[in-house]
Structure 1
Amino acid sequence: MPTVRHASFAPHVAADTRLLILGSLPGARSLAARQYYAHPTNQFWRLLGDVVARPLAAMPYAERLAALHAAKIGLWDVIRTAERRTSSDGDIRDAEAHDLADLVATLPDLGMIAFNGGKAATIGRRQLPDPGGIALVDLPSSSAAHTIGFAAKRDRWMRLRDALAPTAPTP
């Protein structure tokens, strides 16, 4: 299989985003569908659905994105472009990272950045050496190829609720 250069999507964020979830680079199914986490075995929408207590996996894609917007959750990837023969993160070569600091600077309510998988965490943490009070969380990959089991992943992903809790009004 030949190596192909792939590019990520535009960020799905709003000015009031509190939680930003960063993947590595969309896989072949996601790129073909033009949708984040489109592969049917990827557990992303089930995991995040449990975090926000909504059946995201059962919703049409546009409704999923609207639900994330309402929950103040943004999505993006740490890699802008890279060469890859398969959808595996281990197959990513010659990666060009996004300027995460530029995006973060436009999100004044951002309290947490979560990295979906080890590759995203490695590249993302290099881009954000000083997150300025924003919590950085490494998550087990939502990919079915990461085989620790859904329940174990879910336990770690539930930590994302900390970023979504309403903040107490200042007196």
Structure 2
Amino acid sequence: MQIRGFPPIAAPDAEILILGSMPGIASLEAGQYYAHPRNAFWPIMCALFGACPDLSYPDRVRVLARRKVAVWDVLQLCQREGSLDAAIRGEVPNDFATFFAAHPNIRHIGLNGGKAAASFRKHAAQHQPASAEAVVLPSTSPAYASLNLEAKCALWRAALMA
């Protein structure tokens, strides 16, 4: 099945870019980033930036934009059955040259999990601004359960709030 990702959440003055690989089924059905109820993304965004799960989705998006945090996925299109990153085939990346040109203040790039990191290295790292550091972060997916929420949050904070 061919899947198309979402446009970025990004204000022009964004300084932090968080990249996933491709939205999962729950997110695609809801039309929202990280909509699976057990995904740790929004609890981490709550702890770091105040974009808490109990806020409406539009309010969470506004909080992130005010805090200069952008959210996107490395891939624009792919083929995938189910939600697992391991099932992704036929990757078509998003236009990072245009994105980085329009967001010159990006200084931290957080790669949400191994698949996002591998796809970023393969398709987009050549467009990464010299002033931006890309860091692989533990996946927020409920499928990645080897770290608890506190441990994930600490690693995300250390990488993005430095």
Secondary structure, aligned partner of 1:66: helix
Between the aligned residues of both structures, percent identity stands at 37
Task: Say whether 1:134 aligns with 2:132.
Answer: yes
Deviation at 1:8, TM superposition (A): 0.3
If you compute each CA radius of gyration, which structure gives the higher value, 1 or 2? Answer: 1
Task: Say whether 1:86 aligns with 2:79.
Answer: no
Pick one of 136, 142, 147 that aligns with 2:145.
147
Unaligned runs of 5+ in 1: 163-171
Aligned length: 158
For 1:104 and 1:56, the matched residues in 2 are separated by 27
Deviation at 1:56, TM superposition (A): 1.1
Unaligned runs of 5+ in 2: none
Q: Which runs of 4+ in 1 moved over 3 A?
A: none
Counterpart residue identity of residue 153, structure 1: K
Counterpart residue identity of residue 40, structure 2: Q
Instruction: Tell me the C-alpha RMSD between the 2 structures.
Output: 1.2
Answer whether contact 1:100 1:124 (CA < 8 A) is retained.
no
Counterpart residue identity of residue 149, structure 2: F
Alignment map for 1:3-18 (pairs within 5 Å): 4-18=1-15
1:13-46 residue CA offsets vs partner (Å, 9 max, x unmatched):
1110010101000011101110000010101000
Secondary structure, aligned partner of 1:56: coil
Answer whether contact 2:106 2:132 (CA < 8 A) is retained.
yes
Deviation at 1:131, TM superposition (A): 3.2
Match of 2:95 in 1: 99
Secondary structure, aligned partner of 1:145: coil
Query: With structure 2 as the length reference, what TM-score do the two structures score?
Result: 0.93
Query: With structure 1 as the length reference, what TM-score do the two structures score?
Result: 0.88
For 1:121 and 1:55, the matched residues in 2 are separated by 24
Deviation at 1:150, TM superposition (A): 1.4
Pick one of 102, 106, 111 that aligns with 1:110.
106
Counterpart residue identity of residue 143, structure 1: S
